[in-house]
Amino acid sequence: MQTSHGRWARGALTVSLVLGLTACGQPPAGGAALSAQVAAGEPMLNEVYYDSVSTDTGTFIELKGPAGKSLSGYTLAAFDTAGTQYRTVTLSGSIPASGYFVVAQDTTVPNRTLVNSGTDLNNGSASLRLLKSGAVIDALAYGTPTSGRGEGSPAPTTGAGSALARVPDGQDTNVNSADFRVQAATPGASNGGSGGGGGTTGKKVLFDLTKAEDAGNADWRIDGAYSDYAAALRGLGYTVGSLTGTGITSTGLSGAAVLVIPEPQSPFSDTERAAIQAFVQGGGGVFMITDHRVSDRNNNGWDSPEVFDGWDGSTPASVSGAYQASLNSDVIFGLNASFNSSFSDPVYTATPLTTHPILNGVSSAGVYVGTSVDVLAGTALMGTGGKTYLAVNSVGAGRVAMWGDSSTFGDNTYSDGSTGTYNNWPNLSNAALGKNVVRWLAGDL
């Protein structure tokens, strides 16, 4: 895979629904300029449930505002990922005594105020605005829309069966990623909570640095080529840090929700493997990011497929018994980093092979010379040319994922302060994929 240096290394009312086009040559009303936060006395978008399990039923949009507030002149405008308005819901009547106004897709939604199918919004990445006579009152963008119509950075996209809700209930900082979190739907009731955004409640994500992941021309560090990745996870409400030291221990993993291992260059000992296995069995998540063969950054004879799978018996020439199995991911997790890859492999674009919460808002991801994943147990999620490049499995109470290229999530900034050529993080759906894998591993999708 390529690095950012340019060196090869490795998301009782009436309503009318208008599915309409804006007048030719005129922008949609939803494109009006944003004000700051919701003004006092105005309603706000408080909760959105747009992706139910299987066929969408029971979806809804909830507003929160002063009881008795007239909604004459208010509309909801829905936008696709490109920022194109595809739906308008025109509101009339008043907000109920509860303070919550719930527009429901069907009669299965509790505490509904009205029923209209127009609340079944786009899954993945999109935006929604609350307008009054064309002026923007409130706005929400979620996922990774190419042209967001929200406030600040977008809120995360949900997995099927979860809602996006303001937590604390009614909080508005004018930044969607800070105000909304993924949680169980609560139509017509308080969202609860005392802080945080993104539904993560500050869960800890650790990026491993004990296996020379920054050796040679690699820089898979949260203060280097993975700095955009780390920042995106923090934007979702996660606490992100590095796991440093001479090895991985149960003590080091204590309190973490997810461990990310990006292209390790040194083998795991039997003791380290046991600690990682116990971490997953106990409910932790592990994201294994591998690369092609013959990608030895620190000249110790090991490359990342070998570190994940175990010693190949030839390089290095000899290995002490405690390190020969290394992580043994094929045996303990059912996912194997294929040895059938090389530096001369072409660049591929992997696409979804099935449906899965990780794939919400993900249409493709780049494999900038990596290796495929052999799925011995679990589910193949993305691939191309008959090969799998993303696979997942549930092990004990935990979850694991393996992706075949470390540069997919890299940006072009390095821990030494230099700037490189390749910035893959914003390409295709790379960023959405990187975030969604961690969210799924953490149990937030």
Structure tokens at 306: 């070998």
The string of pLDDT tens digits covering residues 46-79 is 999 998 877 888 999 999 999 999 999 999 999 9
- Say if residues 93 and 13 touch (Cβ distance below 8 Å): yes
Looking only at the bridges linking them, the beta strands covering 100-104 and 60-64 are antiparallel
What rounded mean pLDDT belongs to the chain? 87
Cα 320–Cα 321–Cα 323 angle in degrees, nearest 5: 75
At 193 the pLDDT is 58
Q: Percent helix, strand, coil in the chain (nearest 5)? A: 15, 25, 55
At 206 the pLDDT is 98
The string of pLDDT tens digits covering residues 6-49 is 333 333 333 333 333 232 333 334 444 444 467 778 999 999 99
Of residues 208 and 200, more confidently modeled: 208
Confidence of residue 420 (pLDDT cuts 50, 70, 90): confident
- Say if residues 360 and 436 touch (Cβ distance below 8 Å): yes
Which run of H or of E encompasses 437? helix 430-441
Question: Mean pLDDT over residues 399-424, rounded?
Answer: 93
One DSSP character per residue, 79-113 reads E-TTS-EEEEEEE-SB--TTSEEEEESSTTSTT-S
Residue 306, phi then psi, degrees to nearest 5: -70, -40
Cα 412–Cα 413–Cα 414 angle in degrees, nearest 5: 125
At 201 the pLDDT is 57
Q: In what order do the strands lie in the sheet with 85-91?
A: 15-18, 85-91, 74-79, 126-132, 135-142
Distance CA 81, CA 144 (A): 8
Question: Does the pLDDT at position 409 exceed 80?
Answer: yes
The string of pLDDT tens digits covering residues 338-384 is 998 776 778 999 999 999 989 877 899 999 999 999 999 999 999 99
At 200 the pLDDT is 52
Distance CA 44, CA 427 (A): 33
